Chain A
Protein backbone atom coordinates (compact mmCIF):
# COMPACT_ATOMS: atom_id res chain seq x y z
CA UNK A 1 0.00 0.00 0.00
CA UNK A 2 1.50 3.35 -0.92
CA UNK A 3 1.77 6.20 1.48
CA UNK A 4 -0.93 8.27 -0.15
CA UNK A 5 -3.47 5.49 0.11
CA UNK A 6 -2.45 4.97 3.72
CA UNK A 7 -3.17 8.62 4.48
CA UNK A 8 -6.57 8.40 2.86
CA UNK A 9 -7.67 5.42 4.92
CA UNK A 10 -10.67 6.18 7.09
CA UNK A 11 -10.81 4.26 10.32
CA UNK A 12 -14.22 2.67 10.70
CA UNK A 13 -13.76 1.08 14.09
CA UNK A 14 -10.96 0.01 16.38
CA UNK A 15 -10.50 -1.80 19.65
CA UNK A 16 -7.46 -2.83 21.69
CA UNK A 17 -7.33 -5.93 19.53
CA UNK A 18 -7.25 -4.35 16.11
CA UNK A 19 -8.85 -2.03 13.61
CA UNK A 20 -10.80 -1.86 10.37
CA UNK A 21 -10.36 0.99 7.93
CA UNK A 22 -11.88 1.94 4.60
CA UNK A 23 -10.13 3.21 1.50
CA UNK A 24 -12.47 5.67 -0.30
CA UNK A 25 -10.51 5.32 -3.53
CA UNK A 26 -10.76 1.53 -3.88
CA UNK A 27 -13.59 0.82 -1.42
CA UNK A 28 -11.40 -1.90 0.06
CA UNK A 29 -11.46 -2.56 3.78
CA UNK A 30 -8.29 -3.23 5.70
CA UNK A 31 -8.46 -5.43 8.76
CA UNK A 32 -5.53 -5.28 11.16
CA UNK A 33 -5.84 -8.03 13.70
CA UNK A 34 -3.64 -10.46 15.61
CA UNK A 35 -0.48 -9.30 13.86
CA UNK A 36 -1.99 -9.60 10.42
CA UNK A 37 -3.12 -7.07 7.84
CA UNK A 38 -5.72 -8.32 5.40
CA UNK A 39 -7.67 -6.44 2.76
CA UNK A 40 -11.24 -7.38 1.96
CA UNK A 41 -14.05 -6.23 -0.26
CA UNK A 42 -17.23 -5.37 1.61
CA UNK A 43 -19.15 -8.63 0.88
CA UNK A 44 -16.11 -10.60 2.00
CA UNK A 45 -16.05 -8.78 5.33
CA UNK A 46 -19.76 -9.57 5.66
CA UNK A 47 -18.97 -13.24 5.16
CA UNK A 48 -16.19 -13.06 7.75
CA UNK A 49 -18.65 -11.54 10.21
CA UNK A 50 -21.09 -14.36 9.54
CA UNK A 51 -18.44 -17.06 9.94
CA UNK A 52 -17.15 -15.56 13.20
CA UNK A 53 -20.66 -15.37 14.60
CA UNK A 54 -21.24 -19.02 13.77
CA UNK A 55 -18.22 -20.26 15.75
CA UNK A 56 -19.40 -22.49 18.57
CA UNK A 57 -17.63 -20.89 21.54
CA UNK A 58 -18.91 -23.42 24.08
CA UNK A 59 -17.45 -26.24 21.99
CA UNK A 60 -14.07 -24.48 21.88
CA UNK A 61 -13.79 -24.69 25.66
CA UNK A 62 -14.34 -28.46 25.52
CA UNK A 63 -11.43 -30.62 26.73
CA UNK A 64 -11.48 -32.58 23.45
CA UNK A 65 -11.22 -29.39 21.39
CA UNK A 66 -7.84 -28.03 20.30
CA UNK A 67 -8.95 -24.59 21.46
CA UNK A 68 -8.11 -23.18 18.07
CA UNK A 69 -10.46 -22.33 15.25
CA UNK A 70 -9.37 -21.98 11.63
CA UNK A 71 -11.26 -19.19 9.92
CA UNK A 72 -11.14 -19.70 6.20
CA UNK A 73 -13.10 -17.63 3.71
CA UNK A 74 -13.66 -18.75 0.16
CA UNK A 75 -12.56 -16.01 -2.19
CA UNK A 76 -9.97 -14.73 0.28
CA UNK A 77 -6.32 -15.74 0.14
CA UNK A 78 -5.60 -15.73 3.83
CA UNK A 79 -6.88 -17.65 6.79
CA UNK A 80 -6.87 -16.98 10.50
CA UNK A 81 -6.01 -19.46 13.24
CA UNK A 82 -7.54 -18.03 16.38
CA UNK A 83 -7.99 -19.01 20.00
CA UNK A 84 -11.14 -18.20 21.93
CA UNK A 85 -9.88 -14.82 23.15
CA UNK A 86 -9.01 -13.78 19.63
CA UNK A 87 -12.38 -15.00 18.33
CA UNK A 88 -14.10 -12.85 20.95
CA UNK A 89 -11.87 -9.91 20.07
CA UNK A 90 -12.55 -10.24 16.36
CA UNK A 91 -16.25 -10.68 17.01
CA UNK A 92 -16.22 -7.44 18.97
CA UNK A 93 -14.29 -5.60 16.29
CA UNK A 94 -16.60 -6.78 13.51
CA UNK A 95 -19.72 -6.06 15.52
CA UNK A 96 -18.54 -2.50 16.11
CA UNK A 97 -17.58 -2.10 12.48
CA UNK A 98 -20.97 -3.18 11.14
CA UNK A 99 -22.71 -1.01 13.72
CA UNK A 100 -20.69 1.93 12.35
CA UNK A 101 -21.58 0.97 8.77
CA UNK A 102 -25.29 0.89 9.62
CA UNK A 103 -25.07 4.08 11.64
CA UNK A 104 -23.35 5.76 8.72
CA UNK A 105 -26.13 4.60 6.41
CA UNK A 106 -28.80 5.97 8.76
CA UNK A 107 -26.97 9.29 9.09
CA UNK A 108 -26.69 9.57 5.30
CA UNK A 109 -30.45 8.99 5.09
CA UNK A 110 -31.22 11.67 7.65
CA UNK A 111 -28.75 14.33 6.56
CA UNK A 112 -28.63 13.91 2.81
CA UNK A 113 -31.37 11.75 1.37
CA UNK A 114 -34.47 12.57 3.33
CA UNK A 115 -34.17 16.35 3.51
Chain B
Protein backbone atom coordinates (compact mmCIF):
# COMPACT_ATOMS: atom_id res chain seq x y z
CA UNK B 1 0.00 0.00 0.00
CA UNK B 2 1.09 3.56 -0.67
CA UNK B 3 2.37 5.59 2.26
CA UNK B 4 -0.61 7.93 2.55
CA UNK B 5 0.60 9.47 5.80
CA UNK B 6 3.92 10.58 4.43
CA UNK B 7 2.61 11.47 0.97
CA UNK B 8 0.12 13.84 2.55
CA UNK B 9 2.45 15.63 4.94
CA UNK B 10 5.96 15.93 6.24
CA UNK B 11 4.61 16.72 9.70
CA UNK B 12 3.46 14.15 12.24
CA UNK B 13 0.10 14.75 13.88
CA UNK B 14 1.84 15.74 17.12
CA UNK B 15 4.20 18.27 15.53
CA UNK B 16 1.41 19.73 13.43
CA UNK B 17 -0.71 20.17 16.51
CA UNK B 18 2.19 21.77 18.44
CA UNK B 19 2.81 24.18 15.57
CA UNK B 20 -0.88 25.08 15.50
CA UNK B 21 -0.73 25.78 19.22
CA UNK B 22 2.27 28.00 18.59
CA UNK B 23 0.34 29.83 15.86
CA UNK B 24 -2.26 30.59 18.49
CA UNK B 25 0.39 31.72 20.97
CA UNK B 26 1.92 34.14 18.46
CA UNK B 27 -1.55 35.49 17.67
CA UNK B 28 -2.13 35.87 21.40
CA UNK B 29 1.19 37.75 21.71
CA UNK B 30 0.18 40.04 18.89
CA UNK B 31 -3.12 40.85 20.62
CA UNK B 32 -1.39 41.35 23.96
CA UNK B 33 1.09 43.81 22.50
CA UNK B 34 -1.73 45.67 20.81
CA UNK B 35 -3.49 45.95 24.17
CA UNK B 36 -0.26 47.24 25.71
CA UNK B 37 0.05 49.77 22.89
CA UNK B 38 -3.48 50.91 23.61
CA UNK B 39 -2.74 51.37 27.32
CA UNK B 40 0.48 53.29 26.62
CA UNK B 41 -1.24 55.42 23.99
CA UNK B 42 -4.06 56.31 26.41
CA UNK B 43 -1.65 57.18 29.19
CA UNK B 44 0.65 59.46 27.23
CA UNK B 45 3.57 57.05 26.71
CA UNK B 46 3.85 57.66 22.98
CA UNK B 47 7.22 55.99 22.34
CA UNK B 48 6.21 52.88 24.25
CA UNK B 49 2.91 52.79 22.38
CA UNK B 50 4.84 52.81 19.11
CA UNK B 51 7.21 50.14 20.45
CA UNK B 52 4.24 47.87 21.20
CA UNK B 53 2.48 48.62 17.90
CA UNK B 54 5.66 47.44 16.18
CA UNK B 55 5.93 44.38 18.43
CA UNK B 56 2.33 43.49 17.67
CA UNK B 57 3.09 43.57 13.93
CA UNK B 58 6.16 41.40 14.50
CA UNK B 59 4.14 38.76 16.33
CA UNK B 60 1.66 38.69 13.49
CA UNK B 61 4.59 37.98 11.14
CA UNK B 62 5.76 35.15 13.40
CA UNK B 63 2.25 33.73 13.35
CA UNK B 64 2.15 33.84 9.55
CA UNK B 65 5.61 32.31 9.21
CA UNK B 66 4.43 29.28 11.19
CA UNK B 67 1.09 29.28 9.38
CA UNK B 68 2.70 29.03 5.95
CA UNK B 69 5.19 26.41 7.10
CA UNK B 70 2.40 24.10 8.29
CA UNK B 71 0.54 24.52 5.00
CA UNK B 72 3.65 24.20 2.83
CA UNK B 73 4.56 20.92 4.52
CA UNK B 74 1.11 19.49 3.78
CA UNK B 75 -0.53 20.14 7.13
CA UNK B 76 -3.67 22.04 8.08
CA UNK B 77 -2.98 25.48 9.55
CA UNK B 78 -5.71 26.55 11.93
CA UNK B 79 -6.73 30.18 12.24
CA UNK B 80 -6.89 30.78 16.00
CA UNK B 81 -9.51 32.65 17.98
CA UNK B 82 -8.10 34.88 20.65
CA UNK B 83 -10.03 36.22 23.62
CA UNK B 84 -9.64 37.47 27.17
CA UNK B 85 -7.02 40.05 26.40
CA UNK B 86 -6.17 42.34 29.32
CA UNK B 87 -7.22 45.97 28.85
CA UNK B 88 -6.03 47.69 32.00
CA UNK B 89 -2.62 47.71 33.68
CA UNK B 90 -1.83 48.80 37.21
CA UNK B 91 1.28 50.71 36.18
CA UNK B 92 3.66 51.61 33.36
CA UNK B 93 6.16 49.13 34.76
CA UNK B 94 3.63 46.30 34.87
CA UNK B 95 3.18 46.57 31.10
CA UNK B 96 6.86 45.75 30.58
CA UNK B 97 6.86 43.05 33.24
CA UNK B 98 4.04 41.34 31.36
CA UNK B 99 5.90 41.77 28.06
CA UNK B 100 9.00 39.99 29.44
CA UNK B 101 6.86 37.23 30.94
CA UNK B 102 5.18 36.72 27.57
CA UNK B 103 8.48 36.44 25.70
CA UNK B 104 9.84 33.95 28.22
CA UNK B 105 6.69 31.85 27.80
CA UNK B 106 7.16 31.92 24.02
CA UNK B 107 10.80 30.85 24.26
CA UNK B 108 9.89 27.97 26.57
CA UNK B 109 7.14 26.91 24.23
CA UNK B 110 9.54 26.78 21.26
CA UNK B 111 11.99 24.73 23.34
CA UNK B 112 9.19 22.26 23.97
CA UNK B 113 8.41 21.89 20.29
CA UNK B 114 12.11 21.46 19.48
CA UNK B 115 12.35 18.70 22.10
CA UNK B 116 9.44 16.92 20.43
CA UNK B 117 11.11 17.33 17.01
CA UNK B 118 14.30 15.79 18.41
CA UNK B 119 12.36 12.88 19.83
CA UNK B 120 10.83 11.99 16.49
CA UNK B 121 13.82 13.08 14.44
CA UNK B 122 11.94 15.81 12.59
CA UNK B 123 15.10 17.67 11.65
CA UNK B 124 13.30 19.60 8.94
CA UNK B 125 11.05 21.35 11.45
CA UNK B 126 13.94 21.66 13.87
CA UNK B 127 15.89 23.62 11.29
CA UNK B 128 12.84 25.78 10.62
CA UNK B 129 12.58 26.53 14.35
CA UNK B 130 16.13 27.85 14.47
CA UNK B 131 14.97 31.15 13.03
CA UNK B 132 12.59 31.53 15.97
CA UNK B 133 15.27 30.73 18.53
CA UNK B 134 17.43 33.49 17.14
CA UNK B 135 14.43 35.80 17.18
CA UNK B 136 13.74 34.96 20.83
CA UNK B 137 17.27 36.05 21.78
CA UNK B 138 16.40 39.49 20.52
CA UNK B 139 12.88 39.48 21.97
CA UNK B 140 13.99 38.56 25.48
CA UNK B 141 16.90 40.99 25.35
CA UNK B 142 14.64 43.89 24.40
CA UNK B 143 12.03 43.07 27.03
CA UNK B 144 14.70 42.74 29.74
CA UNK B 145 16.43 45.93 28.64
CA UNK B 146 13.15 47.86 28.84
CA UNK B 147 12.68 46.75 32.45
CA UNK B 148 16.27 47.72 33.28
CA UNK B 149 15.45 51.29 32.28
CA UNK B 150 12.98 51.49 35.16
CA UNK B 151 15.78 50.75 37.63
CA UNK B 152 18.41 52.84 35.89
CA UNK B 153 16.36 55.98 35.40
CA UNK B 154 13.87 55.62 38.26
CA UNK B 155 10.21 56.44 38.04
CA UNK B 156 10.18 59.55 40.26
CA UNK B 157 9.65 63.03 38.85
CA UNK B 158 9.96 63.03 35.09
CA UNK B 159 11.43 59.50 35.25
CA UNK B 160 8.59 57.77 33.44
CA UNK B 161 8.70 60.36 30.66
CA UNK B 162 12.44 59.74 30.35
CA UNK B 163 11.98 55.96 30.35
CA UNK B 164 9.38 56.26 27.58
CA UNK B 165 11.82 58.23 25.41
CA UNK B 166 14.53 55.60 25.90
CA UNK B 167 12.21 52.72 25.01
CA UNK B 168 12.29 53.96 21.40
CA UNK B 169 16.08 53.51 21.32
CA UNK B 170 16.25 49.89 22.43
CA UNK B 171 18.09 47.84 19.84
CA UNK B 172 19.69 44.44 19.81
CA UNK B 173 23.01 44.25 17.99
CA UNK B 174 24.09 40.70 18.94
CA UNK B 175 27.27 42.24 20.31
CA UNK B 176 28.63 42.78 16.80
CA UNK B 177 28.96 46.54 16.55
CA UNK B 178 28.49 48.07 20.03
Contact = CB atoms under 8 A, between A and B. Distances in A.
Contact of A43 (B1, B2, B8): B8
Closest 5 CB pairs of A and B: A105-B5, A108-B3, A105-B3, A101-B5, A42-B4
A108 B6 contact: yes
Interface of A: 10, 12, 22, 24, 27, 42-43, 101-102, 104-105, 108
B4 A101 contact: yes
Interface in B1-53: 1-6, 8
A65 to B, nearest CB: 26
Chain A contact residues: helix, strand, loop or mixed: helix
Contacts of A10: 1
Interface residues of B, number: 8
B109 interface: no
Contacts of B6: 105, 108
A24 to B, nearest CB: 6
B1 A12 contact: yes
B1 A24 contact: yes
Contacts of A101: 4-5
Contacts of A24: 1-2
A27 B8 CA distance: 11
A22 B8 contact: no
B76 interface: yes
A22 B7 CA distance: 14
A42 B1 contact: no
A104 B1 contact: yes
Please indicate which of the listed interface residues B4, B5, B6, B76 has the most CB atoms of chain A within 10 Å of its own CB.
B4
Contact of A102 (B5, B8, B76): B5
Contacts of B2: 22, 24, 27
A102 B76 CA distance: 18
Interface in B79-102: none
B4 A22 contact: yes
A12 B2 CA distance: 11
A101 B3 CA distance: 7
A102 to B, nearest CB: 6
Nearest to B5: A105
A42 B9 CA distance: 11
Contacts of A12: 1
Nearest to A50: B13
Contacts of A108: 3, 6
Contacts of B76: 43
B88 to A, nearest CB: 35
A42 B3 contact: no
A101 B5 CA distance: 6
A69 to B, nearest CB: 23
